[in-house]
Amino acid sequence: MKFDTNKDKGRAGLSAAIAYYGLLGYTVSLPLNDTQDYDLIVDDGAHLFKVQVKAPGSLSRSSNSPSYVVSLQCAGGTAGGVYAIMIEQDFDTLFVFSSERDVWEIPLEVIKAQGSTRSLVVRTEKSPFVNKKCLDTTKYYKGKL
């Protein structure tokens, strides 16, 4: 799996999300363009939900619990600046796929309740050093794909 560039990460993340939801038996639909706030529409048989996919870069081992930092800001385009803040966008679930093939599914309302607009730290194991104000992402960890 290539995870060298942002494009590689984006392709890997989107492919992993399609595989993940497909393996659950859900119907996955792709939008025709990339101008909407979500990357996938998923039908679980009872509900449709919009999924934003993120694939963070390198693993941080600076704490006792390995973690990834997921940017909550969308940047790029011709000007190269921040053009959107994720918690202000229209989607239901954040799907995170790491270079180590770890998967998280985090509802947008949980991210909004956390209060951060810049980044979110996701972990596979709970860290004893994490501030109580920080979101415990281990609750949303789904394992490896």
Q: pLDDT digit string (tens) for 78-114? A: 666 666 788 888 999 999 999 999 999 999 999 998 8
Residue 74 pLDDT: 74
Strands annotated E in the chain: 27-29, 40-43, 48-54, 67-71, 73-76, 81-85, 93-97, 102-107, 119-123, 141-144
Q: With the CA atoms of 118, 101, 104 and 64 taken in that order, what torsion angle do they form, in degrees rounded to the nearest 10?
A: -70
Are the beta carbons of 69 and 121 closer than 8 angstroms? yes
- Whether this prediction's pTM lies above 0.85 is answered by yes
The whole-angstrom separation of Cα 26 and Cα 59 is 30
The whole-angstrom separation of Cα 44 and Cα 51 is 12
pLDDT at 54 over 80: yes
Report domain 6-144's class.
Answer: alpha beta
Indicate the range of 32-41, 63-72, 110-119 predicted with least confidence.
63-72
